[in-house]
Structure 1
């Protein structure tokens, strides 16, 4: 492998690690395995609820290695999968191997990380495709005015 390819691969790993570190910090944990499971679950549950076109446009904004995670196991012919807030939370919890009661805290934390790393408007275009009840599960609760 040439030095250029090695550098490109190292950059892809570095970028994915930046995201994982940000998710870990947002969750208040040093458990990178948890951060990976949660990020993967967030990407998959979002992807599967989007139309194929919106899912592909969203993927184009992801870092290379995370794009691979995003597409892993995808069945575009079945998209979008229609599920409500409870089914979304159950699927997220099952894939992330967390308790369903943790989803309302964890999913918005990952959304905030994604928002901080994606081009402006990209996440909003994807979230706009979701039913309101699912979108509210993914959105951070606004801080009280004060």
Structure 2
């Protein structure tokens, strides 16, 4: 691999690590595995509630490596999945491997990190696709664990 390709690949990894570090900090933990699971679950539960067009526009805001995580396992023909807050919370908890009662703390923390890293307004346009009770889960003020 040429030095240019190596540097490009390292930049992709570095950018994903910046996001993971921010999620770790927002969650008030040193557990990068938890941060990765939480970010992945956030991306998947969010993506599956969006229309194909909105999901694709949102994905364009993600760094290359996280865009791969975002699209992993996506079935565009089956979205948007219509689920309420309880179903959303349960799915998030299952995918992130966290307790259901931790989801209302984790989701808004990850949302805040995503908001910091995407273009202004992009996240809000996607959040507009969510039912009010699910959107409210994303907008709560996060409180770090501890």
Give the Å deviation of 1:141. Answer: 3.0
Hey, what does 1:12 align to over in structure 2? 12
Cα offset for 1:24?
0.3
Residue in 2 that maps onto 1:85: 85
Q: Contact 2:109 / 2:141 at 8 angstroms: preserved in 1?
A: no
Aligned length: 143
1:42-91 deviation digits (Å, cap 9, x = unpaired): 00000000000000000000000000000000000000000000000000
Unaligned runs of 5+ in 1: none
Partner of 2:73: 73
**CA distance in structure 2 between the partners assigned to 1:27 and 1:101 by the alignment:** 14
CA RMSD of aligned residues (A): 1.2
Correspondences of 1:43-82 after superposition (within 5 Å) = 43-82=43-82
Structure 1 runs of 4+ off > 3 angstroms?
Answer: none
Q: Offset at 1:22?
A: 0.3
In the TM superposition, what are the counterparts of 1:134-145 in structure 2 within 5 Å?
Answer: 134-141=134-141
Task: Tell me if structure 2 keeps the 8 A contact 1:111–1:140.
Answer: no
Q: Following the alignment from structure 1 to structure 2, what is the Cα–Cα distance between the partners of residues 120 and 140? A: 19
For residues 114-136 of structure 1, what are the alpha-carbon distances to aligned partners after superposition, in whole Å with 9 as ceiling and x for unaligned? 00011101100110000000000
Please report the TM-score for the alignment, with normalisation by the length of structure 1. Answer: 0.96
The answer to whether the aligner puts 1:100 opposite 2:111 as a matched pair is no
Q: Is the 8 A contact 1:51 1:79 kept in 2?
A: yes
CA contact (8 A) 1:24 1:35 kept: yes
Shift of 1:3: 1.0
Give the number of the structure with larger relative contact order, counting CA–CA contacts within 8 Å between residues 6 or more apart. Answer: 2
**1:30 corresponds to which residue?**
30
Separation of aligned partners in 2, 1:125 and 1:74: 20
